[in-house]
């Protein structure tokens, strides 16, 4: 019988099926960070349980860490306490821990793939919804709650009902200045933030086949923003080339054997999906959001839609525009901005910094703009230096910060002040996400760069 990529990976990880209930689902790789794990360890202790397979769990500190002066003690006492808890728990249970200052430290979804912890056909979870990022490697990867973190620590399993399957095809050639981020924001704008709830998505079509691993990660990362549990892309030569010789990737014969297996991980001809959608690459332009959820995105040259034209409640829509200080039918081009944030597990990889640099090269940062450029990991940071990108951005008046989640969720000091506008390459524009009262415009690194040098929302195609 023909089956989908998703079925192949899911079914091979079911330990037991419960009649009328969820599957007992085995987890190959588990990432933990300082914010959602302390309570899980507390639960473990109070029940007197141990960690079943410590070698399958990896800890990194990223969510609340400062992005300057990381060599100094963390000032915020609560953050420091969480970081200490992560370190102590990791040590106590024998889990590898890449804490602040460690050469391998960085955002969990950046360092996982970078080190070859992620591999095709794996099941991966973490107490962070953007765990879907790892789907780029043909994994079933998704975010879980703290109770589930405790389950994985103690039994390496969680209880999950099998989601429905959706395939999203994008075919054709992407236009100039159109990046993977734009493809994802476009799809979310078409589906809304709940359009894929209950589904697991497979992305297919030449647009994804031609994408780099970094691009695929950006797309899969944003799957959660349309409500999907996760998204995945079949592994291919691009995937294998990326993973080969990564520190924790298999080596020699074991690698060859694994690749032979990974090549079977694709959707068979004629396999059925519960829902299938197809889009044209040529319909996608650089995107930007104007509201308070990631589904409220439009092509950068377009105007903010009429309340009547959008699905859903008019009251909710107006509340959202009100928060943003925008009106129906406003053009986005030319809107003044105050902050630019380049970073996060969505767009904090080397390719994103290359894209940013391609625009700001030879130009100057607009005076009134505060820009936070935050690499996703030390490895990204090192490459930025090696490739001469640091020189380009420094020349243009920007500084580089140290790795972490930073203004993506603003748990550390990187908070956008109330009422200010930030063009952000991260993943969520919810009210207050980037700091109480902050206003977020989600966009690609190219759009962020264009805004950083002009000080207003600008079509990056004019600067390329």
Partner 1 sequence: MAYDKFNILTSTAVPLPLENVDTDQIIPARFLKATKREGFGDNLFRDWRYNNDGSPKESFVLNNPIYSGKILVGGKNFGSGSSREHAAWAVYDYGFRCVVSSFFADIFRNNCLNVGVLPVQVSPEFSEKIFTAIYDDPNTEIEVHLPNQTITIKSTGAQESFEINSYKKENMLNGFDDIDYLQNIKGEIESFANDLLL
Using alpha carbons, select from 219, 215, 170, 176 the residue that is nearest to residue 459: 176
Q: Show contacts with partner 1 in window 66-125 (CB under 8 A).
A: 76, 78-79, 81-82, 85, 119, 122
DSSP state of 133: G
Q: CB atoms < 10 A from the CB of 352, how many?
A: 30
Number of residues that bind ligand SF4 (CB under 6 A): 14
Of 132, 344, 425, 454, which lies in the binding site for ligand SF4, with binding defined by CB under 6 A?
344
With beta carbons less than 8 A apart as the criterion, state whether 266 and 121 touch. no
Q: Is residue 161 near partner 1 by the rule CB under 8 A?
A: yes
Of 40, 95, 140, 345, which lies in the binding site for ligand SF4, with binding defined by CB under 6 A?
345
Least distance in Å: CB of 426 to ligand SF4? 6
Q: Is residue 264 near partner 1 by the rule CB under 8 A?
A: no
Q: Is residue 223 near ligand SF4 by the rule CB under 6 A?
A: no
Q: Show contacts with ligand SF4 in window 90-109 (CB under 6 A).
A: 107-109
Q: What residues contact 242, with CB distance under 8 A and at least 6 apart?
A: 113, 213
With beta carbons less than 8 A apart as the criterion, state whether 152 and 160 touch. no
Of 298, 408, 423, 449, which lies in the binding site for ligand SF4, with binding defined by CB under 6 A?
408
Beta-strand pair 14-17/23-26? antiparallel
Question: What is the distance in angstroms between the CA of the first residue and the CA of the last residue of the chain?
Answer: 49
Q: Is residue 401 near ligand SF4 by the rule CB under 6 A?
A: no
Q: CB atoms < 10 A from the CB of 123, how many?
A: 23
Rounded CA separation 20/97 (Å)? 39
With CB under 5 to 8 Å by kind, the binding choice for 345 among ligand SF4, partner 1, none is ligand SF4
Structure tokens belonging to residue 369: 């703009």
**With CB under 8 A as the contact rule, which of the stretches 22-30, 92-100, 170-178, 444-452 interacts with partner 1?**
22-30
With CB under 5 to 8 Å by kind, the binding choice for 231 among ligand SF4, partner 1, none is none
Rounded CA separation 191/182 (Å)? 14
Least distance in Å: CB of 320 to ligand SF4? 21
Of 432, 455, 456, 463, which lies in the binding site for partner 1, with binding defined by CB under 8 A?
432
Q: Is residue 431 near partner 1 by the rule CB under 8 A?
A: yes
Q: Is residue 422 near partner 1 by the rule CB under 8 A?
A: no
The radius of gyration computed from the CA coordinates of the chain, to the nearest angstrom, equals 21
Structure tokens belonging to residue 393: 């951005």
- SS3 of residue 166 by DSSP: strand
Q: Is residue 412 near ligand SF4 by the rule CB under 6 A?
A: no
* Interface with ligand SF4 (CB under 6 A): 62-63, 107-109, 128, 130, 344-345, 405, 408-409, 426-427
């Amino acid at each position: 019988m023909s089956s989908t990529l998703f079925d192949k990976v899911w079914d091979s990880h079911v330990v037991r099926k419960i009649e009328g209930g969820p599957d007992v689902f085995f987890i190959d790789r588990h990432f933990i960070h300082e914010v959602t794990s302390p309570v899980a360890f507390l639960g473990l202790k109070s029940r007197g349980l141990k960690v079943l397979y410590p070698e399958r769990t990896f800890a990194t500190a990223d969510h609340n860490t400062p992005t300057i002066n990381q060599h100094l003690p963390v000032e915020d006492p609560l953050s420091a306490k969480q970081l200490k808890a992560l370190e102590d728990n990791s040590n106590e249970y024998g889990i590898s821990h890449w804490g602040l200052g460690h050469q391998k430290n960085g955002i969990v979804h950046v360092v996982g793939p970078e080190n070859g912890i992620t591999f095709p056909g794996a099941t991966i979870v973490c107490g962070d919804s953007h765990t879907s990022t790892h789907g780029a490697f043909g994994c079933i990867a998704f975010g879980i709650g703290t109770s589930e973190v405790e389950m994985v620590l103690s039994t390496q399993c969680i209880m999950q009902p099998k989601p429905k399957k959706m395939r999203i095809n994008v075919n054709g050639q992407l236009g100039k200045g159109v990046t993977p981020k734009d493809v994802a924001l476009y799809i979310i704008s078409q589906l809304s933030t709940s359009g894929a709830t209950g589904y697991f998505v497979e992305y297919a079509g030449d647009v994804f086949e031609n994408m780099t691993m970094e691009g695929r990660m950006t797309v899969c990362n944003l799957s959660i923003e349309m409500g999907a549990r996760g998204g995945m892309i079949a592994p291919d030569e691009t995937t294998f080339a990326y993973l080969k010789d990564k520190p924790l990737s298999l080596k020699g014969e074991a690698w060859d054997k694994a690749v032979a297996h990974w090549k079977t991980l694709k959707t068979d001809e004629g396999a059925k999906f519960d829902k299938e959608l197809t889009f044209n690459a040529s319909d996608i332009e650089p995107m930007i959001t104007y509201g308070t959820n990631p589904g409220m995105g439009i092509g950068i040259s377009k105007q903010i839609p009429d309340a009547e034209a959008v699905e859903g409640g008019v009251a909710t829509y107006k509340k959202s525009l009100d928060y943003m200080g925008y009106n129906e039918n406003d053009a986005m081009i030319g809107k003044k901005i105050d902050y630019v944030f380049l970073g996060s597990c969505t767009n904090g990889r080397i390719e994103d910094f290359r894209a940013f640099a391609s625009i700001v090269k030879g130009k100057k940062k607009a005076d009134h703009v505060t820009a936070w450029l935050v690499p996703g990991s030390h490895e990204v940071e090192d490459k930025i230096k090696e490739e001469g990108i640091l020189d380009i951005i420094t020349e243009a008046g920007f500084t580089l910060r140290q790795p972490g989640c930073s203004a993506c969720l603003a748990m550390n000091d990187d908070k956008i002040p109330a009422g200010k506008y930030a063009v952000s390459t991260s993943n969520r524009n919810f009210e207050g996400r980037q700091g109480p009262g902050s206003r977020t415009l989600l966009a690609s690194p190219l759009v962020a760069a264009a805004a950083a040098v002009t000080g207003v929302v600008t079509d990056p195609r004019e600067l390329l």
